[in-house]
Amino acid sequence: MLPEPTIDATPTPSPTLDAGQRVGRYLVVRRLGDGSHGVVYEAIHEGLGKRVALKVLHPAAALDPTLRRRFQQEGRAASRVRHPHVVDVSDVGVDGDRVYLVMELLQGEDLATRFAREGRLGVAALVDILLPVVSAVRAAHEAGVLHRDLKPANVVITEGPGGVARPVVVDFGISRMDDAADERLTHARAMLGTPAYMAPEQLAGEGAVDAKADQYALAVMLYEGSTGERPFQAASLLGLLHEVGYGTPRTPRTLCPALPAAFEAVVMRAMHRDAGARFDDLRALGRALLPFAS
Q: Say if CB 168 and CB 137 are below 8 A apart.
A: no
Q: Say if CB 84 and CB 140 are below 8 A apart.
A: no
**Residue pLDDT, tens place only, 221-275:** 999 999 999 998 888 888 888 888 888 899 999 999 999 999 999 999 999 999 9
Give dist(CA 74, CA 174) in Å, integer.
7
DSSP 8-state code for residue 42: E
Q: Show which residues are catalytic.
A: 149
Distances (CA, A) of 240 to 196, 201, 272: 7, 14, 17
Specify the pTM.
0.83
Task: Identify the pLDDT of residue 174.
Answer: 52
Cα distance from N-terminal residue to C-terminal residue, the chain: 28
| Pairing mode of beta strands 89-95, 98-104 | antiparallel
Of 214, 19, 249, the residue nearest 135 (C-alpha): 214
- DSSP string covering 150-208, please? --GGGEEEEE-GGG-EEEEE---TT-EE--STTS-S----S--B-GGG--HHHHHT-S-
**Residue pLDDT, tens place only, 33-84:** 876 577 889 999 998 999 999 988 887 777 777 777 777 777 777 777 888 8
Of 94, 176, 181, 93, the residue nearest 137 (C-alpha): 176
In DSSP terms, 86 is beta-bridged to 169
3-state helix, strand, coil in the chain (%, to 5): 40, 20, 40
